[in-house]
Each structure stands twice: as structure tokens, then as C-alpha cells.
Structure 1
Amino acid sequence: MSKALAGIGLALLWSNRMLPGLGIDQRGRTAANACFATGYGLAFGGRSHWWSGRGLAVGACAGALVLAGYGAAVSIPALRDVLRDLAPVGQEVSDLEWVAVHIPVGTVYSEELIFRSTLEPLLDDTFGSRLGHLLGAAAFGLWHIHPARAGLQPIAPTVLVTAVGGAILGLLRRKTGSTTAPAMLHWAMNAGGVVATRLALPRPMP
């Protein structure tokens, strides 16, 4: 049990205290997050199983559904207005760099390796699959406390929404035995969101 609790504590300490305390820019944070995740996986015995045909197939289907949903939202005026309000502000890098580098490396690789590959299997082994699933989802929500604060987002709703997202991602990992499926869905949700909010912005007059 102590190893599982240490895994939770270290992950939350990194996201909410240590990484913000470094005071580095977006590129530095992406590199630091990826390095931490790699070390975390090695230290706690991560089980990713990236090269999984089932994980790839399920992830591709789930990601395609999410991207189709974003496409539909952009085409509906009422939903387009909602997307417009969600457009990120104060981004340190271009949208292309954000979608192609920082989301897949700094967010998806790092978070999936920490949570779905490492912490959740550890929690399952310690507390059983059902409680491990709940604890993993809760930890994933709490991981986002500082990002919510830094982005001027309400903390409690952000934690709740990301915990639900973590539960869905964890379910995909359990169903496929691989981190590939949740990683692909995670990228589609984040990257698709960036693209959709940009497409929803009013186009400048010629």
C-alpha cells in the first residue's frame, strides 16, 4: 500500500508544486514532464504495452468519434459560440507546435505513462480493479489543480471533469490491456479541441 500511496503523492507533488516551481517556459515544461514521466514509469514499474493491435484499433475508433464530434460542433452556430469562448489565450507557442509537440509529448505521453501505464495498474494490484479505477481517476483530476489555477479556470469543475475523463481513459486501458487506446483518445480530445476552437473564431474580413 505504501508504494501505491507514494505513487499518488509523487505524481500530485510534481504537477502541482515541483513543475510550477521550476519557473520554465512551455518547451521546458514539456521536456521536464516527459523526463519525469519516463523516470516515474521506470521507478514504479510502468506497463504500457504500446504496440497493441487492439489498442490501436480501439484508440483510432474512439479518436475518430471525438474528432467527428468537434467537426459537428464547429458546423452548428450555437455550439460554435461555445467553442469560441473556450479558445485558449496567452499560449506561448504556435498552434501547430502545440498540437504536434506539446500535446503528444508534454501531455499525452507524460500523463498516460504516469497514470494509465503506471499508477493505475499499481492501484489495481493494491486495492483491486474497482477501487483502483476510482482512485486513479481521482488522482488524475487532482493532477490538474495547478493547470486550472494557472489557466484561470474554476478548480473544482476542472478537477471533476478531468477525473471523469481519467475514468474513461482508464476504462479503455482496462478493456484493451494497452495504453495506446487512451493515448489516442487523449490526443484527439486535446488536439481536436485546439483546432476546433480556432476554427470557431470569426474570420477576419478581406
Structure 2
Amino acid sequence: MTIAAPEMPRTIPARSALLATGAVLAAMASVNLARHVWSDATWLGPVAALVLLAFARWSGLTWAQLGLHRDRLRSGARWGFGAAALVALVYLAGVLLPLTRPAFLDARYHLGVSGALLTAFVVIPLGTVVFEEIAFRSVLWGMLARHATTMRVLLISSALFGLWHILPSLNIATANAGIGDLVGGTGSAAQVIVIAAIVVFTAGGGIVAGELRRRSGSVLASAGMHWATNSLGVLFGLVAWRMVA
């Protein structure tokens, strides 16, 4: 029986690797802006993710370096399921406690059952999770690993993940009455506070997601946590809206 040789990374000049990393960052910034400008761009995430993956493979990154090797899928699934279960428990407590319940009352997701299910299982996975995980914990991670230690890759990718959420957080104080009340309204100062808090919070989330990816060797682990954080927020928000109706 012939055993297939392991996939070996292709070495490229340092300057070419740096240019490839810059190209990925520019592409990610363009996608972020496009998603902010276009009201319905769910299709953009999967398409852009495929383009980034094709570019990463062309530039010499292996599936293992991208966190997508089939040998690590089982490990990624275990870590991802565990992280999702933990998020579910935290959200359950948040909805049940009157003090934290208003945080789930986001007007953007004041939906019926069918709308909430569609958002949680189609729109968010395709429009958000797929691209952001491929971009930050797969392609960018692999690119940065050519220049830096794992710890620096974790910190840099997480900081950029936090900054990525500046545009999506511009109107949260208005959409979420609980957050608006917490920061004292929807004025400019309140907006700055909310944006800064979300950048810090999502950067912290990026560290957790990156650590899941590092420990499991698979993007599937961080994707599980990412999906749970976003999609379960919508589903538990559905419950919260029913509780205050």
C-alpha cells in the first residue's frame, strides 16, 4: 500500500510573502467596506472567501497552514461544539436574568420565528462566519505565520478582527435600546463609547477564536464559536422579545 506524502509548504521569497499579506489585508478592507455600503451582500462572503483561499494556495500555503486539513476536522468539531455549548449556557443565563435581558433586545433582529431561523442558519453563516473565519483564522493567520511567532499572529489577527467591527457597530446604540440606555443615549459620545467597547470585545473574542484554532489545528473550532456567538444571539433574542411582549 502506498502512503501519500504529506503536503509540504512552498517556500517563497520574504518580499513576495509580505506583498501577499498586504494584498490579503487590502482585499479584506475592501470586503468590509462593500458589506457596509451594500444592504444585501450575503453572497459576497462565500465568494470572497473562495477568492482568498485560491490566492492563499497559489501563494504556497498548505491546507494544514490554513487550518483546513481534513486530519484536523474531528478535533475542530469537538472544540467548536464545546465552545458553542458554553456560549449557549451564557446566553441562556443572560436571557433569564432581568438585568442582562435588554442586551438581547436588538431591533435588527426583532424577527418572527422563520426570519430568526433564516438569519441564524443561513444569513449569518454565509454572510458573516464563512468569510471572517476564512479571512482571519485561515488565510491571514497562515500569511502572518510566515513573518511572526504564533503568539504574535494571535495578537495581530485579533486586533485586526476588533478593528474590523468598527463599521458594523456604527448604529448599534440606536438599534439596541439596552445598549443605548447603558451608554446614556445615542449621541456622538455614546456612539464612540459603544464602538470602542465593541472593538475591545471583538478583539478579545478574536483571541479566544484564535486560541481555539491553534489548539485544534482547525478553523472549524473557531467557526463553531463564531456561529454560536452571532446566531445564538439572534435565537435567544427571539426568546427575549417574547418575554417582554
Q: Secondary structure at the match of 1:30?
A: coil
Match of 1:186 among 226, 233, 243: 226
Unaligned runs of 5+ in 1: none
More divergent stretch after superposition (175-184 vs 32-41): 32-41
Give TM-score scaled by structure 1 length: 0.85
Report which of the two structures shows the higher radius of gyration computed on alpha carbons: 2
The reply to whether residue 39 of structure 1 matches residue 51 of structure 2 is yes
The reply to whether residue 8 of structure 1 matches residue 25 of structure 2 is yes
**Structure 1: 4+ residue segments shifted above 4 A:** 90-93, 150-153, 202-205
Give TM-score scaled by structure 2 length: 0.73
Q: Partners of 1:62 and 1:129 in 2: how far apart?
A: 21
5 Å-filtered alignment, 1:141-160, equals: 141-151=162-172, 154-160=194-200
Q: Partners of 2:149 and 2:80 in 1: how far apart?
A: 25
Is the contact made by 2:162 and 2:202 (CA closer than 8 Å) also made in structure 1?
Answer: yes
Please state how far the C-alpha of 1:56 moved relative to its aligned partner: 0.6
Q: Partners of 2:95 and 2:243 in 1: how far apart?
A: 13
| Residue aligning to 1:20 | 36
Question: How big is each residue's C-alpha offset from its partner over 1:122-179, in whole Å with a ceiling of 9 and x where there is no partner?
Answer: 1122122121111111111122221112545632222221111111111111111101
More divergent stretch after superposition (122-131 vs 55-64): 122-131
> Using a 3 Å threshold, how does the CA distance of structure 1 residues 76 and 136 change in structure 2: closer, same or farther?
same
| Residue aligning to 1:197 | 237
Match of 1:94 among 115, 120, 123: 115
Q: Partners of 2:91 and 2:168 in 1: how far apart?
A: 23
Is the contact made by 1:74 and 1:83 (CA closer than 8 Å) also made in structure 2?
Answer: yes
More divergent stretch after superposition (46-55 vs 99-108): 46-55
Structure with bigger helix share is: 1
What one-letter code is carried by the residue in structure 2 that aligns with 1:127? Answer: A
Share of identical aligned residues, percent?
30
